[in-house]
Amino acid sequence: MSRTTATVAASLPDHWEQLVTTALLGTDRRTPPGVAPGPQTPSDLLDAAAAATVRRRAGLCPARPAERLRPAPEDPRPPLPHAAARRLAALLADRPGASGGGRRGAAPDLMELLPQWLQAANARGYAAPPQALPALLDAARGRTDLRPAALRFAGPRALWLARLNPDWRFALRAAPGGGPSAPGLRDPQGIRRLWQEGLFAERVTLLTVLRSRDAAAARALLEETWATERAEDRLMFLDSLRAGLAPDDETFLERALADRSRNVRETAAELLSALPASALAARMAARAAACVAVDRTRDVPTIVVEAPHECDAAMERDGVVAKAPAGRGERSWWLGQLVEAAPLGTWPGRLGGRTPEEIVALPVADGWQGELHAAWCRAAVRQRDAAWSRALLGEPSAPEAGGPGAVSLAERARLLAALDAGERAAWVAGFIETHGLSEAFQLLGVCAVPWAPPLGRAVVDALNIARDAGSYPWSFSGVMGLAERCLDPSEASRLDALLAIPDEPEDAAPGAGSYWSEAFQRLVTTLRLRGAMLAELTPGEPAP
């Protein structure tokens, strides 16, 4: 130790926190205690820190040995094939942001393929390799969208690791049964103990898992402590009833309509309105029907609307929010809530026995069409009614399907979710063929993966048309990214003709052809990589 170090060590008390604070702020802003300011102050600070470190280590008393860890539980699932395990290691080693942004090049984005790989591995019931668990937990920590699939694949050993590393504690909250004292579902005393004594995250997880196995038991558990729960906790617990919502939940939800929290009341009313046979749904149907009728005295039968003139206490109890948002009229605001909460089965009888398609086709007087159709859209989404969703979507080739129209593209995307995968893909393919790709991104996001052949062909053809038009591919980067993840890998060979740099028209953007060639090269490479990934997870299946 130098003379300066010895002097500082002898004169400076061991104030470690003060040294750390000084180092963070800088010696030009704060002088270490016991050190004179001057040009040597930074060196003196480092000497003091070195001396304090030795002092702290030398003064550490030996601790009692910790209890030996119990071995990690066994994972009974079959191990991954060797090729798939190597692929997983490569996917986990790729980190976002390594390229620094800018031009992507022709290389696939491996991290964007990880969710599909996990989904395929889980579908085949494989266990995660033990050596991959730390990287898998790190990836799930950084991307919440990965967590359900990653934790399912990681299995019980990941939870064992998560109890040893604070950075991975999210797994204990997110995984079913992840808590340190999580009971088995056949242990009623353990379930009740955890419900009464557990942390909030553990209780939410317990209620969610129990609800998926025994809805009545989960509801009974919630009823036991409902009156003593905090309002924000009641809201989260109530939200767990969405899974497996059934008529048996009505009595409990009706009581929740009188809750002192407005958010709890609104959530209870929303859940009740999703039960078409509930008393609340009947009350909302009566209110909504009183506001909407068909005027048969006109040359063409027309829907007429008389919005509510007030929002009374009974409406508020049933979840109608009295205060309209800024820029919205009160009466239209109340009307929308009533129609949204009314069972869609109300309208054929109320409007002359017409089908949903015939009702949607009727003209609406006095500018109420947008409000009425938007409320029917929300009702169709909430009630997952395919017939009404189909009617409100209309034909994809219709001019109004591309917007603005009475039903927005965002509403159409939500309506599509109520249709089966094949019908969904066919509708979006028809939309793209008529309206192009510029408005199709959010519609493509709700289609099943891999895309059905008609939809995949429609997307590729539209991209080819955009390339031939001479524009830059950046305007279609979102769709191109979706295509990389969603096109069927068998489409790769059909795209080889698009890899060449095309002849650029005179009015084309400079260099656009080479950018398109690069983008299609990345698309083809990614599709072939996805095909190889699936083959590796299916032993005996030849790679494409």
39-43 long-range contacts (CB < 8 A, ≥24 apart) are 40/4, 43/4
First-residue to last-residue Cα distance in the chain: 67
Cα three-residue angle 424-429-430, rounded to 5 degrees: 100
Taking the C-alpha atoms of residue 429 and residue 423, their distance in angstroms, rounded to an integer, is 10
User: What is the predicted pLDDT for the residue at 426?
Assistant: 96
Least confidently predicted of 122-126, 172-176, 425-429: 172-176
Question: What is the rounded average pLDDT for all residues in the chain?
Answer: 85
456 closest CA partner among 482, 420, 419:
482
DSSP 8-class letter at 539:
T
One-letter amino acid of 155:
G
Q: How far is CA 173 from the centre of its chain?
A: 17
Question: Which range scores top for mean pLDDT: 100-114, 175-189, 338-352?
Answer: 338-352
User: What is the predicted pLDDT for the residue at 394?
Assistant: 92
Q: How far is CA 226 from the centre of its chain?
A: 28
241 closest CA partner among 264, 218, 274:
218
User: What is the predicted pLDDT for the residue at 101?
Assistant: 44
**Interaxial angle between packed helices 82-93 and 110-123, expressed in degrees from 0 to 180 and rounded to the nearest 10:** 140
Structure tokens at 265: 């009341």
| 368-379 pLDDT, tens digit each | 999 999 999 999
User: What is the predicted pLDDT for the residue at 183?
Assistant: 52
| 206-247 pLDDT, tens digit each | 888 888 888 888 999 999 999 999 999 999 999 888 888 999
Average pLDDT over residues 61-77: 82
Asked if residue 194 lies in contact with residue 183, where contact means CB atoms within 8 angstroms, the answer is yes
Kindly indicate the confidence band of residue 516, based on its pLDDT and cuts at 50, 70 and 90: confident
171 closest CA partner among 147, 146, 195:
147
Residue 197: partners with Cβ closer than 8 Å, 6 or more residues away: none
Asked if residue 261 lies in contact with residue 231, where contact means CB atoms within 8 angstroms, the answer is yes
Least confidently predicted of 174-183, 373-382, 397-406, 439-448: 174-183
* pLDDT at residue 85 greater than cutoff 50: yes
Q: Which residues of 49-77 are buried (b: 16+ CB within 10 A; e: fewer)?
A: bebbeeeeeeeeeeeeeeeeeeebeebee
One-letter amino acid of 406:
A
β-sheet bridge partners, residue 295: 302
User: What is the predicted pLDDT for the residue at 472?
Assistant: 67
* pLDDT at residue 404 greater than cutoff 70: no
Using DSSP, state whether 450 is helix, strand or coil. Answer: coil
| 285-297 pLDDT, tens digit each | 999 999 999 999 9
User: What is the predicted pLDDT for the residue at 60?
Assistant: 65
User: What is the predicted pLDDT for the residue at 10?
Assistant: 44
Kindly indicate the confidence band of residue 153, based on its pLDDT and cuts at 50, 70 and 90: very high
What is the pTM for the complete model shown?
Answer: 0.74
Higher pLDDT, 255 or 198: 255
Kindly indicate the confidence band of residue 317, based on its pLDDT and cuts at 50, 70 and 90: very high
DSSP 8-class letter at 302:
E
Taking the C-alpha atoms of residue 528 and residue 129, their distance in angstroms, rounded to an integer, is 24
% of the chain at pLDDT higher than 90: 52
User: What is the predicted pLDDT for the residue at 11?
Assistant: 45
Asked if residue 489 lies in contact with residue 108, where contact means CB atoms within 8 angstroms, the answer is no
% of the chain at pLDDT higher than 70: 87
Bridge pairing between strands 292-295 and 302-305: antiparallel
Taking the C-alpha atoms of residue 303 and residue 362, their distance in angstroms, rounded to an integer, is 7
| 12-52 pLDDT, tens digit each | 445 778 888 888 888 888 887 777 788 888 888 888 888 88
* pLDDT at residue 302 greater than cutoff 90: yes
β-sheet bridge partners, residue 304: 293
β-sheet bridge partners, residue 292: 305
Kindly indicate the confidence band of residue 509, based on its pLDDT and cuts at 50, 70 and 90: low
